């Protein structure tokens, strides 16, 4: 009878500690602001001395990097879960895409700031942490291509449109729905401007149902 595979308990403890540190960093970001957290504050929150924190993260930017990767991984999971709900008809499909990202983005101000705004001077995510962001972009691009949207300027317009509504919601009605209510109208404007009448299941442009 085969025994259980050997577990690297030291690695498991180290990973658990890293996650605890990241949880503490997010808590502080929500309490004090993303740019105002310090290593000393994070260390105190998890009950360790600041020098001990350096065995897990060698700088504050390293913590931000891990937070960035964690946030985009969460976004990727949400986007993947939404894929089965995306209809074939273009207008309805883009409404689901927009709503999925919008709702995720407005849930958490510091998370959105780290993911999508240059809030931290000098911070650039590592390729490893940026990878899930690329996967999210690739998922969206695949959906757009299926609906005949391939021009970079059209994709850029989409990012500006949805991102602008997210930023307005955060800035002017946090926790409300003032800009959330405009999301479907914004998608309709986009679809009408590009004259998109397509059913992805048919593989060719077609008339939208009335």
> What's the mean per-residue pLDDT of the chain?
90
Rounded-to-integer distance, Cα 156 and Cα 73, Å? 22
Domain limits, CATH 1.10.357.10, in the chain: 61-205
What's the rounded mean pLDDT across residues 1-14? 68
Domain limits, CATH 1.10.10.60, in the chain: 7-58
74-78, 89-93, 162-166, 197-201: the lowest-pLDDT one: 197-201
Class of domain 7-58 (CATH, top level): mainly alpha
**How does DSSP assign 57-106, residue by residue?**
-SSHHHHHHHHHHHHHHHHHHHHHHHGGG--SBHHHHHHHHHHHHHHHHH
pLDDT tens digit sequence for 91-121:
999 999 999 999 999 999 999 999 999 899 9
Domain 61-205 CATH assignment equals 1.10.10.10: no
At 13 the pLDDT is 84
Rg over alpha carbons for the chain, rounded to the nearest Å, is: 21
């Amino acid at each position: 009878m085969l025994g259980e595979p050997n577990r690297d308990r030291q690695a498991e403890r180290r990973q658990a500690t890293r996650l605890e540190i990241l949880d503490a960093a997010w808590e502080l970001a929500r309490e004090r602001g993303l740019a105002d957290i310090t290593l000393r504050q994070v260390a105190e929150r998890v009950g360790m001395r600041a020098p001990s924190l350096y065995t897990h993260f060698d700088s504050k930017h390293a913590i931000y990097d891990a937070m960035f990767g964690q946030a985009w991984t969460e976004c990727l999971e949400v986007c993947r879960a939404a894929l089965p709900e995306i209809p074939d008809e273009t207008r309805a499909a883009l409404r689901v895409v927009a709503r999925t990202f919008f709702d995720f983005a407005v849930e958490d101000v510091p998370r959105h700031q780290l993911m999508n705004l240059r809030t931290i001077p000098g911070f650039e995510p590592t390729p490893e942490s940026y990878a899930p962001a690329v996967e999210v972009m690739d998922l969206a691009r695949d959906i757009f291509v299926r609906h005949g949207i391939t021009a970079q300027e059209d994709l850029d317009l989409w990012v500006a449109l949805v991102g602008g509504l997210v930023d307005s919601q955060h800035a002017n009605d946090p926790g409300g729905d003032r800009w959330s209510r405009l999301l479907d109208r914004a998608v309709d404007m986009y679809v009408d401007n590009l004259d998109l009448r397509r059913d992805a299941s048919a593989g060719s442009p077609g008339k939208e149902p009335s």
